[in-house]
């Protein structure tokens, strides 16, 4: 991933140093387990534990000759360990190390991402409770619908992001497995207890069964859970983008001192961070397709998945980490314009109260169809600029034959639209 979208902590997890470090962790733990099982000499393991190191430049140089990254790595380590290096990787195949180490890295990346999801949830919860009863406009098809509360918008975000977190934690659990089962997964050269011991030390679970590799549905689960998470972040970002539109003006990203919105138009304040989150989500959904393409490998293994994963797994975690960081920034700096929200609710004299008036009029008018016709003609006249909805219905003689002024006024009571919000919040937040 380009530096622009790589935050230091997550970037460090996917550095060459970290990759080879994870490889070395697996090899050292495998040697430990084999020494304890008396497969290799205990003295040899002590030497391995003490001396095992690697040199990245040397690995790259060796790989130029042997064209095999694992052999190049093991050769570099052997140069530090000496004669006892013959017991490193004993009875193992490359993917025993590679897949177990990749699981370690993915698990650690998942822990960083989960912390940011938790922070996002905390901030959304705070916004939901703060704006629990703040009236705002609800829209369907992009058109004014009925009043709702801003708190309910955030409650929707909270529950959706909570589901994303549950899915992601399940995916992290699914990928937190290792395998030390040999060339085709049948433990021909090592007992399963070696695998169990290595995984226990690394805080992974042994795969129930494997081939030469861990099965890639696990990795696809992980990447698709990130794509779903990013898609929800895009949904939230899109809401901010829409509400920041000049014509709506109800919500906006923060705009810092000295920030510029446009090189040409000094008046501009653009939702650039929300737009960036949207773009990142598109990339992550593409990675999900690639991850699913990796599930079908030939027989016990081919390496068609390998080149794909070198790109999509580090990039997917780095991009998700970055998107969450930016989303947290949006939440912390969010600007809410309550005055504009009220203005939009009472647009054209409050045409959005048409359903409330319809319900009030249906009984006295004798039929829903008749009541609908009366209310609709006044609402459409208001939206066409022929007067205020509230004033038009006051002057409508047919309507006034059925409803008095007090009954009409009661239709514009905003508390009607928040009367059950408390019940929803109790269900979602317990308060």
Cα torsion for 381, 382, 388, 393, to the nearest 10°? 50
**CA dist., res. 291 & res. 350, Å (int):** 50
**CA dist., res. 325 & res. 330, Å (int):** 9
113, with CB counted inside 10 A (0-12, 13-18, 19+), is buried
Residue whose C-alpha is closest to residue 127's, from 328, 330, 424, 331: 331
CB 244 within 8 A of CB 271: yes
Q: What angle do CA 14, 18, 23 make, to 5 degrees?
A: 115
Q: How many residues does the chain have?
A: 431
Residue whose C-alpha is closest to residue 320's, from 228, 240, 411: 228
136, with CB counted inside 10 A (0-12, 13-18, 19+), is buried
**CA dist., res. 114 & res. 228, Å (int):** 14
The DSSP symbol for 185 reads S
The DSSP symbol for 207 reads P
Q: Which residues are catalytic?
A: 141, 262
Question: CA torsion sign, 34 to 38 to 44 to 50?
Answer: positive
**CA dist., res. 424 & res. 428, Å (int):** 6
**CA dist., res. 427 & res. 423, Å (int):** 6
The DSSP symbol for 305 reads H
297, with CB counted inside 10 A (0-12, 13-18, 19+), is middle
CB 368 within 8 A of CB 362: yes
Radius of gyration for the alpha carbons in the chain, expressed in angstroms and rounded: 30
Tokens of 113: 């991402």
Q: Which residue has the tokens 């016709």?
A: 373
**CA dist., res. 240 & res. 393, Å (int):** 34
């Amino acid at each position: 991933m380009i530096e622009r979208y790589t935050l230091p902590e997550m970037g460090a997890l996917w550095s060459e140093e970290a990759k080879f470090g994870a490889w070395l962790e697996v090899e050292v733990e495998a040697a430990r387990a084999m020494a304890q099982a008396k497969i290799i000499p205990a003295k040899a393991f002590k030497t391995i534990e003490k001396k095992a190191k690697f040199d990245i430049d040397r690995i790259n140089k060796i790989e130029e000759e042997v064209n095999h990254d694992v052999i190049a790595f093991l050769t570099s380590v052997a140069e530090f360990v000496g004669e006892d290096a013959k017991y490193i990787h004993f009875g193992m195949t490359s993917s025993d190390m590679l897949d177990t180490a990749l699981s370690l890295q993915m698990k650690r990346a998942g822990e960083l991402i989960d912390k940011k999801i938790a922070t996002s949830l905390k901030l959304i919860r705070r916004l939901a409770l703060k704006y629990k009863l703040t009236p705002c406009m609800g829209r369907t098809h992009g058109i004014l619908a009925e009043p709702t509360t801003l708190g309910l918008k955030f409650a929707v975000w909270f529950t959706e992001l909570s589901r994303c977190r549950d899915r992601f934690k399940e995916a992290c659990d699914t990928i937190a497995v290792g395998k030390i089962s040999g060339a085709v997964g049948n433990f021909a050269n090592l007992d399963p207890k070696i695998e169990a011991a290595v995984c226990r030390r690394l805080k992974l679970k042994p795969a129930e069964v494997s081939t030469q590799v861990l099965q890639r549905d696990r990795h696809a689960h992980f990447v698709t859970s990130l794509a779903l998470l990013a898609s929800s972040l895009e949904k939230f970002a899109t809401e901010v983008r829409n509400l920041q539109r000049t014509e709506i003006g109800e919500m906006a990203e923060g705009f810092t001192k000295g920030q510029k919105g446009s090189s040409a138009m000094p008046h501009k304040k653009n939702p650039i961070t929300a737009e960036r989150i949207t773009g990142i989500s598109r990339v992550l959904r593409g990675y999900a397709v690639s991850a699913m393409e990796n599930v079908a490998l030939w027989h016990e293994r081919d390496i068609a998945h390998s080149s794909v994963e070198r790109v999509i797994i580090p990039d997917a975690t780095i991009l998700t980490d970055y998107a969450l960081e930016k989303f947290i920034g949006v939440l912390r700096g969010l600007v809410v314009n309550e005055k504009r929200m009220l203005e939009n609710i009472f647009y054209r004299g409050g045409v959005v109260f048409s359903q409330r008036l319809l319900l009030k009029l249906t009984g006295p008018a004798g039929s829903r169809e008749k009541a609908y016709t009366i209310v609709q003609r006044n609402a459409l006249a208001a939206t066409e600029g022929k007067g205020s909805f509230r004033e038009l219905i006051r002057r409508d003689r047919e309507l006034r034959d059925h409803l008095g002024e007090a009954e009409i006024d009661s239709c514009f009571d905003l508390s009607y639209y928040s009367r059950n919000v408390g019940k929803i919040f109790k269900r979602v937040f317990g308060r």
